[in-house]
Amino acid sequence: MSREIPVLSSPIPAVSFPEQRAAAAERRRQFPFRFPRDERRLGGKFTVAENARRLLRFFYFERRLAQGLGSWTLSIPEFEVKIETGRHIFWHADAARRLRERLHEQETRLHTIDNFRDAEIDTFIEEMLSATDAPELLMGVHLVAGQALETAYRHHIDDTDPVTDAPTIRVLRQILLDYEPMLSWARQAIAAYIEGGIDEARLEAWRWHLARLLASIGGVTGADERAPRPATLRIDSQPYVRGTVPRRDSRFETFHHTGDYNVADGTPRYEPESYEDKRFRFVRTQRDEVDAIEAFGTFLWDIRFQDFQAEYDLARITWDECRHTEIGHRAMLTLGYDPFELPNRLTSSTCRGPMEPAYAMAEINLFGETGVIKTIHELIDEARARDDAVVAHISDFIRADERTHVRKGQHIIQVMTDLEMKELQQRTRELFTECLVSLGAIKPNMDAFVLSREELERLIGE
């Protein structure tokens, strides 16, 4: 005999055999283990299609934030803000990667994801990037866009089905792990700007303007009720273009008339080419890789939308260069220096800033990073032999990073140019020779003079 049990959620009744039902209950009673109860229940607000629509917008915002912050790396003067921004570029690119993978799992083709564009989001991003200075940039990126995304992610976690859509929840939670320190840092940084004299009313007016613009496109999800769009936008009169000049804050002394620290110092601190000189140059080069943050961040903007993997790798390299800068800064302290007493080399960023990305990338990757790898083995061996623990420790990690950069650089360069390697290197040498001559860092001593690879590695370094 079976018994029909009406089911509220379905017009089809359950057909149960009472003896089987009773036997199941008895087996459950006798089963000895009381495992933790999973309290999640079926049900959520979204279909797979609606999930994909929202995640695609999240992906697009994250991708555009990574690119957009990249475009500001040259223009941010304050050391701490430049470094932190370099890190945030990767947090956003990595969020984009996670969302992209989740979208792909839910049957959105990678081609569709990578080619997704939204003109309204673009307007918002370009207006946000039209900040007049770094405090306005932080206001827009973190307290308008970042804050709105964080809220949207939390809501999505609450609203989607916790069982059927658990992977989306996990992805969003992992993204939020980066958001929490990022937004908290941004709030403190903006407070520091205000305490240091930046007009709070100006920043607040800018925040309000961008918040209204975001509301006019239905918020980050596009699903909110739309508010009227602000009457005028900065980009209406002037489209956004990235800066080309590397900026430093007032604690730094800078030079760009030479690539050589000893020449810049006037009086060398150590015997040139001695171990003391080489280790000191290495540490200074690391701190001055603040210019590598600028290089790779800028490339991310300049080659935007050509290839997601290349963008992702550039974002990761940018973060690595932030670490190298921090390593250099801290190592200077360890060696007994005030990091701001050592002038900062602006030579390479001054040349690369306005340059086409393929040549700037060829310079930093094929000459600079490759050049580091050539000399770093010897430095590590010597540091170890002399028990120079700080330099041995940091150069060991930096070698691993730079080798990785050289490897990733191959794909990035392919995305940037169709030129043959020989031609690319030749043109790069010509352009940098020209630039170094114009800066007075070298004197042309013959017609059609072009720096050799070795000279370029030495003069620009990385």
Closest CB to Fe ion among residues 130, 298: 298
Closest CB to Fe ion among residues 58, 319: 319
Which one of 3-11, 189-197, 258-266, 289-297 is the stretch in contact with Fe ion (CB under 5 A)?
289-297
Closest CB to Fe ion among residues 206, 319: 319
Least distance in angstroms from the C-beta of 378 to Fe ion: 18
- Interactions with Fe ion, residue window 408-447 (CB under 5 A): none
Least distance in angstroms from the C-beta of 292 to Fe ion: 5
Instruction: Determine the straight-line distance between the first and last CA of the chain, rounded to whole angstroms.
Output: 82
Looking up tokens 């001559």, which residue turns up? 437
Q: Are 72 and 129 spatial neighbours (Cβ–Cβ below 8 Å)?
A: yes
Which one of 166-174, 336-344, 345-353, 398-406 is the stretch in contact with Fe ion (CB under 5 A)?
398-406
Q: What share of the chain is helix, strand, coil (3-state, %, to 5)?
A: 65, 0, 30
Identify the DSSP state of 256: -
Distance CA 17, CA 409 (A): 66
> Considering the rule CB under 5 A, would residue 405 count as an interface residue with Fe ion?
yes
Considering CB under 5 A, how many residues would be counted as binding Fe ion?
6
Which one of 48-56, 63-71, 191-199, 404-412 is the stretch in contact with Fe ion (CB under 5 A)?
404-412
Distance CA 73, CA 293 (A): 7
Distance CA 361, CA 355 (A): 10
Q: Are 392 and 334 spatial neighbours (Cβ–Cβ below 8 Å)?
A: no
Question: CA gyration radius for the chain?
Answer: 27
> Considering the rule CB under 5 A, would residue 324 count as an interface residue with Fe ion?
yes
Least distance in angstroms from the C-beta of 214 to Fe ion: 35
Closest CB to Fe ion among residues 388, 402: 402
Largest Cα–Cα separation, the chain = 105
Closest CB to Fe ion among residues 162, 357: 357
Which one of 93-101, 133-141, 258-266, 402-410 is the stretch in contact with Fe ion (CB under 5 A)?
402-410
Closest CB to Fe ion among residues 388, 462: 462
Closest CB to Fe ion among residues 161, 289: 289
Q: What secondary structure does DSSP assign to 43-73, as a single string?
A: --S--HHHHHHHHHHHHHHHHHHHHHHHHTT
Least distance in angstroms from the C-beta of 321 to Fe ion: 5
Task: Say how many CA atoms lie within 13 Å of 216 toward its Cβ.
Answer: 17
Which one of 17-25, 93-101, 378-386, 403-411 is the stretch in contact with Fe ion (CB under 5 A)?
403-411
Which one of 57-65, 143-151, 200-208, 399-407 is the stretch in contact with Fe ion (CB under 5 A)?
399-407
Q: What secondary structure does DSSP assign to 100-166, as a single string?
A: HHHHHHTT--HHHHHT---HHHHHHHHHHHT-SSHHHHHIIIIIIIIHHHHHHHHHHHHHS-TTTTH
Least distance in angstroms from the C-beta of 208 to Fe ion: 39
Which one of 1-9, 15-23, 199-207, 394-402 is the stretch in contact with Fe ion (CB under 5 A)?
394-402
Closest CB to Fe ion among residues 206, 367: 367
Which one of 44-52, 102-110, 347-355, 365-373 is the stretch in contact with Fe ion (CB under 5 A)?
365-373
Distance CA 44, CA 27 (A): 32
Least distance in angstroms from the C-beta of 368 to Fe ion: 7
Among 289, 291, 294, 363, binds Fe ion (CB under 5 A): 289
Least distance in angstroms from the C-beta of 63 to Fe ion: 23
Least distance in angstroms from the C-beta of 92 to Fe ion: 20
Least distance in angstroms from the C-beta of 289 to Fe ion: 5
Least distance in angstroms from the C-beta of 68 to Fe ion: 22
> Considering the rule CB under 5 A, would residue 284 count as an interface residue with Fe ion?
no
Q: Are 315 and 70 spatial neighbours (Cβ–Cβ below 8 Å)?
A: yes
Distance CA 417, CA 410 (A): 11
The two structure tokens encoding residue 331: 């190592």
Closest CB to Fe ion among residues 84, 321: 321
- Interactions with Fe ion, residue window 135-164 (CB under 5 A): none
Least distance in angstroms from the C-beta of 324 to Fe ion: 4
Using DSSP's 3-state secondary structure scheme, residue 9 falls into coil
- H or E stretch covering 15: strand 14-16
Cα 267–287–352 angle (5° rounding)? Answer: 95
> Considering the rule CB under 5 A, would residue 352 count as an interface residue with Fe ion?
no
- Interactions with Fe ion, residue window 11-70 (CB under 5 A): none
DSSP β-ladder status, 14-16 and 254-255: unpaired
Task: Say how far residue 175 (Cα) sits from the centre of its chain.
Answer: 14
Residues that bind Fe ion (CB under 5 A): 289, 321, 324, 369, 402, 405
